[in-house]
Amino acid sequence: MESRNPAFRGDAFNRQSHGGQAYGAPGPGYGAAEYGPQYGAPAQYAPPAATRPMTLDDVVVRGFLTLATLIVTAGLAWALVPPRLAVPVLVVALLAEIGIWAFITFGRKANAPMVLTFAAVYGVAVGIISHAYNDLYHGVVFQALIGTALAFGATLAVYALRIVRVTPKFTRFVIAAGFGLIGLMLVNLVVQLFGAEDGIGIRDAGNPLAYVFSVVAILVGCFFLLLDFDEIERGVQTGAPEKFAWYCAFGLVLSLVWIYLELLRFLSYFSGRD
């Protein structure tokens, strides 16, 4: 079965560890077709004998370890990186983060060392950004953390109660919206580099467009959480191998940090500078 979330494109979920048979593909011993137009009809997977199926506890433990690693390195970066080195360290952390993200996503190598290394590097970037915001807008980091926790809880409740159903059409919409937002951010950055201080206005606190952009970005982050929850549930139901839990932890952290950073910026629009 092919994952519908871009963060979950690994061989841990798409193929068995030996034999090359894709999960969910019809073959000897498989009694149901893979997910397709008949979304919601779980295929019967038979993971290799040497691999136990993933459980929800696996995802919870690995997700906690990944998030804890990010929080620890963020705290260390906040406390130890001096202001004069903040920008160089941030640039190095962002470049390393992009490289590890690409290796995990496209190289299909989500395992404990890679995911925890990604979380550690990402935490350095998040810590430096958070410190900079808190210096300008005292207390905004705590507000963003509370907002992220509330967003996570509300999104989980929405998913558990099936208020929003994750269908293939919904998934395509969320992925397209995510790429669209990233594209606009890149355009805004390029315009700023060529001399327009406020870019195209999506990050200018004095422009109403910035408020709309941030709200949409926060909502899209919550929608990505819905995709994460769906992947986790389907992985448990269909017998994905245990190592797929690291992909789940990777995706959850990406979505949560997306929401946190967007909340940080959005709340800063309403905070006076110290």
Q: What is the per-residue pLDDT across 248-260, written as a single tens digit (0 to 9) for each? A: 999 999 999 999 9
Q: Give yes or no for a contact between 73 and 120, defined as CB atoms under 8 angstroms apart.
A: yes
Q: In this predicted structure, what is the pLDDT of residue 206?
A: 82
What's the mean pLDDT when you consider all of the chain? 82
Q: How far apart are CA 115 and CA 164, in angstroms?
A: 29
Task: Collapse the DSSP code of 43 into the 3-class scheme (helix H, G, I; strand E, B; otherwise coil) and give the result.
Answer: coil
Instruction: Give one word for 112, left, alpha or beta, with left for phi > 0 and alpha for psi -120 to 50.
Output: alpha
Q: What is the per-residue pLDDT across 168-180, written as a single tens digit (0 to 9) for each? A: 999 999 999 999 9
Q: What is the per-residue pLDDT across 65-106, written as a single tens digit (0 to 9) for each? A: 999 999 999 999 999 999 899 999 999 999 999 999 998 888
pLDDT at 24 over 80: no
Q: What are phi and psi of 177, to 5 degrees?
A: -65, -40
* Beta carbons within 8 Å of 100's beta carbon, 6+ residues apart: 114, 117, 118, 121
176-191 burial code (b ≥16 CB/10 A, e <16): ebbeebeebbeebeeb
* Beta carbons within 8 Å of 220's beta carbon, 6+ residues apart: 174, 177, 178, 181, 258
| Closest to 80 measured CA to CA, from 124, 140, 137 | 124
Q: In this predicted structure, what is the pLDDT of residue 239?
A: 86
| Closest to 220 measured CA to CA, from 183, 268, 271 | 183
* Beta carbons within 8 Å of 49's beta carbon, 6+ residues apart: none
Task: Collapse the DSSP code of 82 into the 3-class scheme (helix H, G, I; strand E, B; otherwise coil) and give the result.
Answer: coil
Q: Give yes or no for a contact between 201 and 130, defined as CB atoms under 8 angstroms apart.
A: no
Degrees to nearest 5, angle at CA 264 with 117 and 157: 80
pLDDT at 27 over 60: no
